[in-house]
């Protein structure tokens, strides 16, 4: 059988092999219960334990206090683009959006359906190639929304924008759990699972409890955060398998040394790649140095023709999924938590070889 | 290792063993691609094929014409309780609801948030123990909504209510694909996957294309059916693993002989159980004979104490998940497509033994 390749997919992304092995081994018979993990009631004791353990491990990993609820929802970040304003954009208020790329723009466009928005910063002037350092926040916005990592362009906030007493809402879909953050700085953090946390199909929302009071009456039942908060995310059937896998990823992160260790690895991996890019005249990283993403490393080659050749030959060499997003073009190496250092080293070696043959 | 038990879970429910084995064997390396099935881009060739194959197999199984779209959504039937009226309950119109239990009531309650509803029939008078045969439909409702199988009470429509030229909308979550239906009779059919079709986390909507024109502007992007129809359900990241498993279930149904064979098996399995119930003075099936569900067989014992004992001893005997829903009480044997006849025979044998000891 062909070996697993180095999988640079931007998402759904590579998962830790020990997690996959555990899932595989429990697929027909979960912990000798006689039931497969996809086949058990979401209201039974077995799944109750899976969900409670996932909740408590996430609290431990991120240091989430009792002031916050963890909600398990569906529809990915895109559903949150709607849910955030539907729940938090109180009538008469305006929400600040920081526009650092496609996803931030989509979040704002969706919010406009439900209320007023204001752009506190935009990096569209230089094709989203940097993270803004100056913001024109409203005095008293409903909240400030930002995208912590921009998968398409390969930029990332090194730290949260300083918003003072304003409520910070973060789309952390593509860098959730890549390092420790101070949750207390946020009113709400949301993340689709399919980058660092698990398979597509489950979305985690961490929300400070007092914000739940903002939701107006009459929302579609599953678009009201209170439905999840009041029912421990079990108002209706939860995607139980997806939650299980995410829970196993949480356990893996703990075993590996927690978020501090994830950050160390991510900096090391991205460092290897950016060093190689900076040392080359052939490869052009487009992102300003202090705005570079640890998750998605993007760069260009001298021509689109060479980029096509690069992607094709890389794939033949067992380096899969390096084609950049159609919006940005070029090459993108997505190297989330579970992506191994050896894969980055293999890419760097391939890049040197490719440059020597084509440079 | 303990063997798999007979799993009577009402959902997430038992899946076919060959499907589980295929999933297991492809979990770390899908078809020798080097990528696990949870870890591949939803926009890549591999997943594109998975989705296209699932679509075409579903079309073939159910006989879905080109007049209909197949949409892959999230949030289960509960999200459809919102999406149906938000998209189809045109301003100034009223929607007919047939109330045959908890889920139908919840669907109507949700529709009331978005427009006017009318009860065309209700079986609450006799505790939802039957399927109505008489209806007071509006002359020209936006649509008629019904729940084809009522998981909690154990009732099922033997055939669709005759609605004439009115648009029929069906929550088929708990009996989807259990037999052949004539899709042309429906405007829209929706089903959460977690009974007959796969794991929780994916919801299938079959909609006649002209109905897509009813959706008003300004809906939350993922609550607009057009978002799915226009983007082949790939506007955002689809729960790709869940789709994959459902696709494997479709293949399994085809291999086993299609929906005609599913119906034969389901009638045979339910027949064994209902015959045993009818032959006994000890067990009391509560549902009127012509309203009985082929999917969820419900019955009572002489006392709640005996019911508790029954559930406990059955579990020890490898018959899992027989406790009735808290709303209905008693015993519920959920015997979806993938539930084996041998499991029903084991239950019937256990029932006889239990009656002889406790009757």
Share of residues in chain A with pLDDT > 90 (%) = 98
Q: How far is CA A111 from CA A115, A136, B220, B233, in A?
A: 6, 19, 9, 22
Chosen domain end from A255, A290, A313: A255
Q: Which of B55, B69, B96, B171 is catalytic?
A: B171
Question: How far is residue A311's CA from residue B88's CA, in Å, rounded to a whole number?
Answer: 45
Q: How many CB atoms lie within 10 A of CB B143?
A: 25
A342 close to A7: Cβ distance less than 8 angstroms: no
Chosen domain end from B199, B226, B255: B255
CA distance A117 to chain B (A): 16
Query: B108 and B163 in one domain?
Result: yes
Q: In this complex, which of B20, B35, B39 lies closest to A36 when CB atoms are compared? A: B20
Q: In this complex, which of A4, A41, A321 lies closest to B9 when CB atoms are compared? A: A41
CA distance A164 to chain B (A): 30
The CB-based long-range contact list for A28-33 (8 Å cut-off, 24+ gap) reads A28/B4, A28/B17, A28/B20, A28/B21, A28/B24, A29/B1, A29/B2, A29/B3, A29/B4, A32/B1, A32/B2, A33/B2, A33/B5
Query: A154 and A130 in one domain?
Result: yes
Q: What is the mean pLDDT of chain A?
A: 97
- Given a cut of 70, whether residue A2 has pLDDT beyond it is no
- Given a cut of 70, whether residue B1 has pLDDT beyond it is no
Instruction: Please answer yes or no on whether A321 and B38 come within 8 Å at the CB atom.
Output: no
Kindly report, residue by residue over A146-164, the tens digit of the pLDDT: 999 999 999 999 999 999 9
Q: For testing the chain A interface, which of B110, B200, B225 should be mutated: the one with the most A CBs within 10 Å? A: B200
Residue B38 lies in a domain: yes
Residue A10 lies in a domain: no
Q: How many CB atoms lie within 10 A of CB B252?
A: 17
Question: What is the average per-residue pLDDT within A187-202?
Answer: 98
CATH number for the domain harbouring residue B33: 3.40.640.10
Backbone angles phi, psi at A2, to 5 degrees: -65, 140
A323 close to A331: Cβ distance less than 8 angstroms: yes
Residue B4 lies in a domain: no
Q: How far is CA B182 from CA B168, B190, B199, in A?
A: 12, 14, 25
Beta bridge partners of A69: A207
Query: B243 and B308 in one domain?
Result: no
| In chain B, residues 119-178 whose CB comes closer than 8 Å to chain A | none
Query: A203 and A191 in one domain?
Result: yes
pLDDT at residue B286, as a whole number:
87
DSSP symbol at B217: T
A350 close to A314: Cβ distance less than 8 angstroms: yes
Residue A37 lies in a domain: yes
Residue A42: cis peptide before it, omega within 30 degrees of 0:
no
B156 close to B181: Cβ distance less than 8 angstroms: no
Chosen domain end from A255, A288, A315: A255
Within an 8 Å CB–CB cutoff, is residue B9 touching chain A? yes
Within an 8 Å CB–CB cutoff, is residue B110 touching chain A? yes
Q: Which residues of A touch B10 (CB under 8 A)?
A: 41
Question: How far is residue B52's CA from residue B58's CA, in Å, rounded to a whole number?
Answer: 10
pLDDT at residue A1, as a whole number:
47
Q: In this complex, which of B1, B200, B237 lies closest to A241 when CB atoms are compared? A: B200
pLDDT at residue B122, as a whole number:
98
Q: For testing the chain B interface, which of A33, A45, A74 should be mutated: the one with the most B CBs within 10 Å? A: A74
A303 close to A282: Cβ distance less than 8 angstroms: no
- Given a cut of 60, whether residue A142 has pLDDT beyond it is yes
CATH number for the domain harbouring residue A265: 3.90.1150.10
Kindly report, residue by residue over B160-170, the tens digit of the pLDDT: 999 999 999 99
Q: How many CB atoms lie within 10 A of CB A22?
A: 17
Q: How many CB atoms lie within 10 A of CB A157?
A: 20
Query: A243 and A173 in one domain?
Result: yes
Query: A181 and A53 in one domain?
Result: yes
Beta bridge partners of B144: B96, B168
Query: B74 and B105 in one domain?
Result: yes
CA distance A81 to chain B (A): 9
Kindly report, residue by residue over B39-61, the tens digit of the pLDDT: 999 999 999 999 999 999 999 99
The domain containing residue A234 runs over which residues? 18-255
Q: How many CB atoms lie within 10 A of CB A180?
A: 14
CA distance B281 to chain A (A): 31
Strand bridging mode B188-192 / B149-150: unpaired
Q: In this complex, which of A23, A38, A223 lies closest to B15 when CB atoms are compared? A: A38
Place of tokens 């159910």: B62
Q: Which residues of B touch A3 (CB under 8 A)?
A: 29, 34
Q: Which of B69, B72, B175, B195 is catalytic?
A: B195
Kindly report, residue by residue over A235-275, the tens digit of the pLDDT: 999 999 999 999 999 999 999 999 999 999 999 999 999 99
Kindly report, residue by residue over B172-229, the tens digit of the pLDDT: 999 999 999 999 999 999 999 999 999 999 999 999 999 999 999 999 999 999 999 9
A103 is a catalytic site residue: yes
Question: How far is residue A125's CA from residue A117's CA, in Å, rounded to a whole number?
Answer: 20
Question: How far is residue B328's CA from residue A241's CA, in Å, rounded to a whole number?
Answer: 27
Residue A351 lies in a domain: yes
The four Cα atoms B231, B232, B236, B240 give a dihedral, to 10 degrees, of: -170
What are B204's two structure tokens? 């299938």
CA distance B324 to chain A (A): 12
| In chain B, residues 219-258 whose CB comes closer than 8 Å to chain A | 220-223, 235-242, 245
Q: In this complex, which of A2, A38, A75 lies closest to B29 when CB atoms are compared? A: A2
Residue A93 lies in a domain: yes
Q: Which residues of A touch B236 (CB under 8 A)?
A: 75-78
DSSP symbol at A105: H
pTM of the model: 0.98
Q: How far is CA A288 from CA A120, A132, A150, A156, A274, in A?
A: 20, 11, 13, 10, 11
Backbone angle region of B198, left / alpha / beta, with phi > 0 → left and psi within -120 to 50 → alpha: left
With residues binned 3-state (H G I as helix, E B as strand, rest as coil), the percentages for chain B, rounded to 5, are 40, 15, 45
Backbone angles phi, psi at B22, to 5 degrees: -65, -45
A154 close to A287: Cβ distance less than 8 angstroms: yes
Nearest CA-CA partner of A241 in A82, A87, A19, A59: A19
Three-state SS for A29? coil
B71 close to B228: Cβ distance less than 8 angstroms: yes
Strand bridging mode A203-208 / B155-156: unpaired
Three-state SS for B152? coil
pLDDT at residue B2, as a whole number:
61
Q: How many CB atoms lie within 10 A of CB B1?
A: 8
Strand bridging mode A144-147 / A168-171: parallel
pLDDT at residue B359, as a whole number:
86
pLDDT at residue B222, as a whole number:
98
B195 is a catalytic site residue: yes
Question: How far is residue B335's CA from residue B346's CA, in Å, rounded to a whole number?
Answer: 13
Residue A8 lies in a domain: no
Three-state SS for A205? strand
**ipTM reported for the complex, 2 dp:** 0.98
Within an 8 Å CB–CB cutoff, is residue A216 touching chain B? no
With residues binned 3-state (H G I as helix, E B as strand, rest as coil), the percentages for chain A, rounded to 5, are 40, 15, 45
Structurally, how many domains does chain A consist of? Answer: 2
Query: A239 and A124 in one domain?
Result: yes
CA distance B174 to chain A (A): 13
- Who's near A174: CB < 8 A, 6+ residues apart? A10, A11, A148, A149, A150, A151, A195, A196, A295, A296, A336
Instruction: Please answer yes or no on whether A200 and B10 come within 8 Å at the CB atom.
Output: no
Query: A66 and A215 in one domain?
Result: yes
Give the residue from chain B lying closest to A246, CA to CA: B38
What are A50's two structure tokens? 């899976």
Residue A215 lies in a domain: yes
pLDDT at residue B153, as a whole number:
97
pLDDT at residue B19, as a whole number:
98
What are A41's two structure tokens? 């009631």
B149 close to B86: Cβ distance less than 8 angstroms: no
Q: How far is CA B201 from CA A10, B86, B310, in A?
A: 21, 21, 32
Q: What kind and span of H or E run contains A99?
A: strand A94-99
Query: B197 and B320 in one domain?
Result: no
Query: B165 and B177 in one domain?
Result: yes
Q: In this complex, which of B7, B27, B223 lies closest to A39 when CB atoms are compared? A: B7
Within an 8 Å CB–CB cutoff, is residue B270 touching chain A? no
Residue A12: cis peptide before it, omega within 30 degrees of 0:
yes
Three-state SS for B133? coil
Within an 8 Å CB–CB cutoff, is residue A306 touching chain B? no
Instruction: Please answer yes or no on whether A2 and B40 come within 8 Å at the CB atom.
Output: no
Kindly report, residue by residue over A38-57, the tens digit of the pLDDT: 999 999 999 999 999 999 99
Place of tokens 């499907």: B19
Helix (DSSP H) and strand (DSSP E) numbers for chain B: 9, 13
Query: B331 and B250 in one domain?
Result: no
- Who's near B231: CB < 8 A, 6+ residues apart? none
B252 is a catalytic site residue: no
Question: How far is residue B259's CA from residue B248's CA, in Å, rounded to a whole number?
Answer: 15
B100 close to B150: Cβ distance less than 8 angstroms: yes
């Amino acid at each position: 059988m062909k070996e697993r390749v180095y999988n640079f997919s931007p998402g759904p992304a590579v998962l830790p092999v020990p997690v996959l092995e555990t899932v595989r081994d429990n697929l027909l018979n979960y912990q000798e219960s006689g039931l497969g993990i996809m086949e058990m009631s979401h209201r039974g004791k077995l799944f109750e334990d899976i969900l409670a353990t996932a909740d408590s491990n996430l609290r431990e990993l991120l240091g989430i206090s009792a002031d916050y609820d963890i909600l398990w929802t569906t529809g990915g970040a895109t559903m949150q683009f709607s849910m955030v304003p539907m729940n938090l954009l109180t009538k008469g208020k305006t929400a600040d959006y920081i526009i650092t790329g496609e996803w931030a723009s989509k979040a704002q466009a969706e919010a406009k359906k439900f209320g007023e928005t204001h752009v506190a910063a935009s990096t569209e002037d230089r094709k989203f190639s940097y993270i803004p350092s100056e913001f024109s926040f409203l005095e008293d916005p409903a909240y400030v929304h930002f995208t912590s990592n921009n998968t398409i362009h390969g930029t990332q906030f090194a730290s949260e924008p300083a918003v003072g007493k304003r409520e910070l809402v973060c789309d952390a879909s593509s860098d959730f759990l890549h390092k420790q953050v101070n949750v207390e700085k946020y009113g709400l953090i949301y993340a689709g699972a399919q980058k660092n946390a698990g398979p597509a199909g489950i979305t985690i929302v961490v929300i400070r409890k007092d914000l739940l009071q903002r939701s107006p009456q009459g929302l579609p039942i599953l678009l009201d955060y209170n439905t999840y908060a009041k029912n421990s995310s079990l108002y209706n059937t939860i995607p139980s398998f997806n939650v299980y896998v995410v829970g196993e990823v949480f356990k893996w992160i703990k075993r590996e040394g927690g978020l501090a260790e994830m950050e160390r690895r991510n900096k090391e991996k991205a460092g290897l790649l950016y060093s190689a890019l900076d040392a080359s005249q052939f490869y052009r990283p487009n992102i300003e140095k202090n705005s570079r993403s640890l998750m998605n490393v993007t760069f260009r080659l001298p021509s689109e023709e060479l980029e096509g050749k690069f992607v094709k030959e890389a794939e033949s060499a067992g380096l899969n999924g390096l084609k950049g997003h159609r919006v940005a073009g070029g090459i993108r190496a997505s190297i989330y938590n579970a992506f191994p250092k050896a894969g980055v080293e293999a890419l760097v070696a391939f890049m040197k070889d490719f440059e020597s043959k084509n440079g």
